[in-house]
């Protein structure tokens, strides 16, 4: 069964430092996508970064990078130069192919990141 595991319920980081949020996944499908979303207290889900299973290079988007290790089935999110506004819940998700070709997301339990001044 497809599953996403985030083992860190909470993480603390000092402002301006880097932090890594862990994510491991389990799937038997050869083709899949991995996503990271940020959810502030307002509830909206903000897309951060995407990594396809066949992508050769790790995805990067500004201060966000995804450390994709396919053999270990891990897709850790690295946030560099943390800012106070980065404090939020972070969810790792994997896309699964629906019948009809659309993709649905399976989410991990999330990691609450707190950036300290």
Partner 1 sequence: GAVVSQHPSRVICKSGTSVKIECRSLDFQATTMFWYRQFPKQSLMLMATSNEGSKATYEQGVEKDKFLINHASLTLSTLTVTSAHPEDSSFYICSAQGPNSGNTIYFGEGSWLTVV
Considering only residues 38 through 97, tell me which ones interact with partner 1, judged by CB under 8 A. Answer: 42-47, 50, 52, 91, 95
Does residue 85 contact residue 63 with C-beta atoms inside 8 Å? no
Q: What are the beta bridge partners of residue 94?
A: 34, 106
11 binds partner 1 (CB under 8 A): no
- Closest contact distance (angstroms) between CB of 37 and partner 1 is 7
Q: How far is the CB of 110 from partner 1 (least distance, A)?
A: 6
CB 22 within 8 A of CB 76: yes
Which of 30, 85, 100, 117 binds partner 1 (CB under 8 A)? It is 100
**Closest Cα partner for 97 from 41, 33, 54?**
33
Closer residue to partner 1 (CB): 14 or 31 = 31
């Amino acid at each position: 069964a497809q599953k996403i595991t985030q083992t860190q319920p909470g993480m603390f980081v000092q402002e301006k430092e880097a932090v890594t949020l862990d994510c491991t996944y389990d799937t038997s499908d050869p083709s899949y996508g991995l996503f990271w979303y940020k959810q502030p207290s307002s509830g909206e889900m903000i897309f951060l970064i995407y990594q396809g299973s066949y992508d050769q290079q790790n995805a990067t988007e500004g201060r966000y990078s995804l450390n994709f290790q396919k053999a270990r089935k891990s897709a850790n999110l690295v946030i560099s130069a943390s800012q106070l506004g980065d404090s939020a819940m972070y969810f790792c998700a994997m896309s699964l192919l629906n019948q009809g070709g659309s993709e649905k997301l399976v989410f991990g339990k999330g990691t609450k990141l707190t950036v300290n001044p």
